[in-house]
Amino acid sequence: MPAARNGTSPRLPRLLAALCDRLPKDRIVVVEQVLGTVAGPDDPPLGRFIAAQAAAGLAQQLSEITRVWRTEAPGMTGAGLALALATARSFPRPAPAQVAVSGPMGASASARLTSGVAMEVIRSARTSLLIASFAAHGARNVVTEIGRAVDRGVRVDLLLEESTQASAAFAALPDHVHVWHRAGSSGVLHAKLIAADRHTALLGSANLTDRALSDNIELGVVLRDPHLVEPLVDHFRWLLAPENGVMRPA
Q: What is the pLDDT of residue 25?
A: 85
Is residue 138 within 8 Å of 221, Cβ to Cβ? Answer: no
Q: What is the pLDDT of residue 93?
A: 66
Helix (H/G/I), strand (E/B), else coil: 142: helix
Is residue 36 within 8 Å of 82, Cβ to Cβ? Answer: yes
Q: What is the pLDDT of residue 4?
A: 47
Could you read off the pLDDT of 145-170 as tens digits, one per residue?
999 999 999 999 999 999 999 999 99
One-letter amino acid of 37: T
Domain locations along the chain? 12-90, 98-249
**Range scoring the smallest mean pLDDT among 35-39, 45-49, 112-116:** 112-116
Is residue 216 within 8 Å of 102, Cβ to Cβ? Answer: yes
Is residue 218 within 8 Å of 206, Cβ to Cβ? Answer: yes
Nearest by Cα to 19 from 70, 78, 59 = 59
DSSP category for residue 3: P
One-letter amino acid of 211: R
Q: What is the pLDDT of residue 31?
A: 96
Kindly indicate the confidence band of residue 6, based on its pLDDT and cuts at 50, 70 and 90: very low
Q: What is the pLDDT of residue 36?
A: 96
Alpha-helical segments (H) within the chain? 12-22, 25-35, 44-51, 58-72, 78-90, 114-123, 140-151, 210, 226-240
Separation CA 236–CA 244 (nearest Å): 11
Q: What is the pLDDT of residue 98?
A: 86
Separation CA 203–CA 6 (nearest Å): 43
Burial 189-218 (b: 16+ CB within 10 A, else e): beebbbbbbbbbbbbbebbbbbbbbbebeb
Could you read off the pLDDT of 192-240 as tens digits, one per residue?
999 999 999 999 999 999 999 999 999 999 999 888 999 999 999 999 9
pLDDT at 23 over 90: no
Q: What is the pLDDT of residue 220?
A: 96
Q: Output the pTM of the full model.
A: 0.68
One-letter amino acid of 202: L
Looking at domain 98-249, its CATH architecture is: 2-Layer Sandwich (3.30)
The predicted model gives 134-143 an average pLDDT of 95
Kindly indicate the confidence band of residue 7, based on its pLDDT and cuts at 50, 70 and 90: very low
